Each structure stands twice: as C-alpha cells, then as structure tokens.
Amino acid sequence: MNYYDKINLIQDEASTALIEAKKSTVHIRTGLGKTFISFKALNKIPREKDQLLNVLFLAETRVREKTLNEEILKFKKLFNIDINEFINLEFNCYQTAYKWKNKHFDVVIADRILFA
C-alpha cells in the first residue's frame, strides 16, 4: 500500500467514525486531510434524493474561505465528488457566529480548534 492509499484509508475510517459518533472531533497530524475527512463524512450522511444539507463551516479568518473553496475543487478532481451538489454551505468566522441566535444547521464543521 502506497502513502496516498494509506492517507485515503485513514480519511475513510475517520469519516465513517464521525458519522457513527454523530458528534465528534478529529485530531490528526497536519497533512492527513482533516478537511477531506469532513467532505467524505458529508458524503456519507444519509439524505433524501435532492435534499441539501445545511452546513456551516467555521474558521478563524475569512482567508480560510478561499482555501476551503480550493479544497472543494481539489476534492472533486481527486474523488469525482462535488459536495456543492448536496450541501448548502455557509462559511463564517467564530467571532461572528458566536453571537447568532435561532440558527439551525444540519452539520457544523469547526476548523482548527486547539485545546491546550
């Protein structure tokens, strides 16, 4: 098994574990594809045909929105899965979202939260 096959296997196992746990975090080393794990998990969520999942992606800065969109395109090229076909994605920063009230999302992905 080559390096990329191993990474793909780790991503698949982690995304399955996320779906089974319903609420969880992924803590793995840089370079193993936490964002791709979240994309794979989104793809595994059971849904009705043509049902869009409302997904909130939270990050520290707006710069991450650009890299997220680049990763969505890369994921589509690598796996032939366009997550934009089955999600309604909203991006925002933690500093804004913590003030919200009465908002609902099917999935929230919180990027790069570190606990010391």
Centre a 10 Å sphere on the Cβ of residue 80 and count the other Cβ atoms it contains: 7
Contact 60, 111 (CB under 8 A): yes
Domain parsing of the chain, residue ranges: 3-110
- Which DSSP helix (H) or strand (E) runs through 105? none
Q: Could you give phi then psi for residue 31, rounded to 5 degrees?
A: 100, -10
Between 40-44, 46-50, 55-59, the lowest mean confidence (pLDDT) is in 46-50
Q: Which amino acid is at 106?
A: D
Of the pLDDT bands very low, low, confident and very high (cuts 50, 70, 90), residue 81 is: very high
- The pLDDT value recorded for residue 49 is 84
Within the chain, what is the greatest distance between any pair of CA atoms? 48
Q: Do residues 53 and 87 lie in contact, with contact meaning Cβ atoms separated by under 8 Å?
A: yes
